[in-house]
Amino acid sequence: MADETADGEWRALTPAEVEILQQMIAERHADAAGAVQAAIDAAVAPLAAQVEALTQQVATLQETLTVLDGAAVKVGDQVALRAQRGQLLSATDGGPKESHELFEFESRVSQGDWESFTLERR
């Protein structure tokens, strides 16, 4: 390494001067690295909070789905409607064959195809 003198000449730096320059460079590098890390930490902190909130929401949704999956009926499931006195609602002859025909209902004791209704999504 070299240093320019007052008269424009170049002279070699002493080992002590080189060591001082290396220490200054290392300190500035450490300061810059610390500032960069602080900026990264400041930017990441809100994102980490959002991730935590989303993680909690996902856990709540999974619990809800577990409850629904185990207990609730779903679209496509077939259900029968049983009255308090034990009779099932039955669509007479399986229900109307054409649109706009009226449904006729009967009661039945046992469940069959006409006493089953499929849940559909609207």
CA terminus-to-terminus distance, the chain: 81
Q: What is the pLDDT of residues 82-98, one digit of tens each?
A: 899 999 999 999 899 99
The pLDDT of residue 10 is 80
CA nearest neighbour of 18 among 38, 36, 1, 35: 1
Q: What is the DSSP string of 68-93?
A: HHHHS--TT-EE--B-TTSPEEEEGG
CA 85 to chain centre: 46
Domain boundaries, the chain: 1-72, 74-122
Q: What is the pLDDT of residues 37-56, one digit of tens each?
A: 999 999 999 999 999 999 99
In this predicted structure, the answer to whether residue 14 has a pLDDT above a threshold of 80 is yes
